[in-house]
Amino acid sequence: MVRIGSSSHGESRLRMLRVMRRGDRHDPKELSVSFRFEGDFAAAFREGRAGGLLPGEALKNIVHRAARDYGAGEIEEFGLALCERVLAQQPAITRARVEITESAWARLDVAGRAQGQAFVAGPPELKTAAVTSNGRQSSVVSGLAALSLMRTAGFAPARGEAADDGIADGLPRLLVAELSAKWTYSSADVTFRTYRQGVRALIVETFARHASRSVQHTLYAMADLVLASYQEITDVTLALQERPYRPADLFSAGVDNPDDLFVAVEEPVGVVEVTVERDS
């Protein structure tokens, strides 16, 4: 006999733009929503029964109404509302997961004056939120993704290496990387905006200032600092993907290169990931 170990279905990439118009000052939010639903859908799989599924049109209506009500606020609140409404409408779904990403738009600056109704796309960095709910309990994980960072100095030798003894040879002179972060709240009742700003500031500050012995070393320092600063955060996951560069061989070109020219190589790509959690 066989059994269904797990199953899910969903819709991904419902993309929309929510424009808040307060007089002459507008504010756009570009959002992308994805759903995954779980439940007892054995009859759908085994026998092809249609019951219990949420039709695409009904789902779209839920998303549009919720975007109207919550799209102007924090994506975590929007995600909580979406989970609640989906579970209310289709009882066969026992667990809903919604993932939301928000892209940045900045106000256009014309002759030093910020415009009210014209905008330019911001950096590729995304705000992310993942809300999971079974109708009684909700889990909120906030995050950021596609944060491209560069550091051109300030690296320390790894401990346990010769360089640790004062010979600072062979240190890297460049790190270019894409960082993503996720952190879980112990409650769905926090001011998400404030936490997001605070966590991002700690991550970025650590990247800029930490006497980094390695990527591992710096990621841990970031996570440690976040957990020490915010009791309402129970765990932090950080992933860093390096964009590889190597110093240009200017010797064969007949000139020296005091670490000022690097050539991009695309592969292989180094990845480090760590989850640090509160030791309860």
x/- string (CB under 8 A) for its own copies, residues 217-246? x-xx--xx--xx------x---------x-
Residue 84 Ramachandran class (φ > 0 left, ψ -120 to 50 alpha, else beta): alpha
Residues facing residue 245 across a β-bridge: 264
Options 10, 135, 172, 198; binder of its own copies; rule CB under 8 A: 10
Residue type, 153: A
Residues facing residue 168 across a β-bridge: none
Least distance to its own copies from the beta carbon of 8, Å?
5
Could you give the CA distance from residue 49 to residue 114 in angstroms, rounded to a whole number?
Answer: 56
Of 16, 113, 24, nearest to 67 by C-alpha is 16
Among the listed ranges 78-86, 89-97, 134-142, 149-157, the one in contact with its own copies (CB under 8 A) is 149-157
In the bound state with its own copies, the residue whose beta carbon lies nearer, of 156 and 188, is: 156
User: What does the DSSP 8-state code read for residue 214?
Assistant: S
Whether the CB-CB separation of 103 and 125 falls below 8 Å is answered with no
88 binds its own copies (CB under 8 A): no
Least distance to its own copies from the beta carbon of 6, Å?
5
Size of the site for its own copies (CB under 8 A): 124
Could you give the CA distance from residue 125 to residue 139 in angstroms, rounded to a whole number?
Answer: 23
Paired sense of beta strands 175-185 and 138-151, if any: antiparallel
Residue type, 66: A
Of 111, 119, 14, nearest to 62 by C-alpha is 14
In the bound state with its own copies, the residue whose beta carbon lies nearer, of 118 and 189, is: 118
Least distance to its own copies from the beta carbon of 189, Å?
23
84 binds its own copies (CB under 8 A): no
Of 145, 110, 101, 105, nearest to 121 by C-alpha is 105
Task: Tell me which residues in 150-189 interact with its own copies (CB under 8 A).
Answer: 150-154, 156, 158-161, 173-174, 176
Least distance to its own copies from the beta carbon of 166, Å?
16
Least distance to its own copies from the beta carbon of 178, Å?
9
Options 54, 67, 126, 129; binder of its own copies; rule CB under 8 A: 67
In the bound state with its own copies, the residue whose beta carbon lies nearer, of 48 and 136, is: 48
User: What does the DSSP 8-state code read for residue 190?
Assistant: S
Options 55, 88, 148, 197; binder of its own copies; rule CB under 8 A: 148
Residue type, 199: V
Whether the CB-CB separation of 83 and 133 falls below 8 Å is answered with yes
Task: Tell me which residues in 243-272 interact with its own copies (CB under 8 A).
Answer: 245, 248-250, 252-255, 257-272
x/- string (CB under 8 A) for its own copies, residues 38-57? ---x--xxxxxxxx----xx
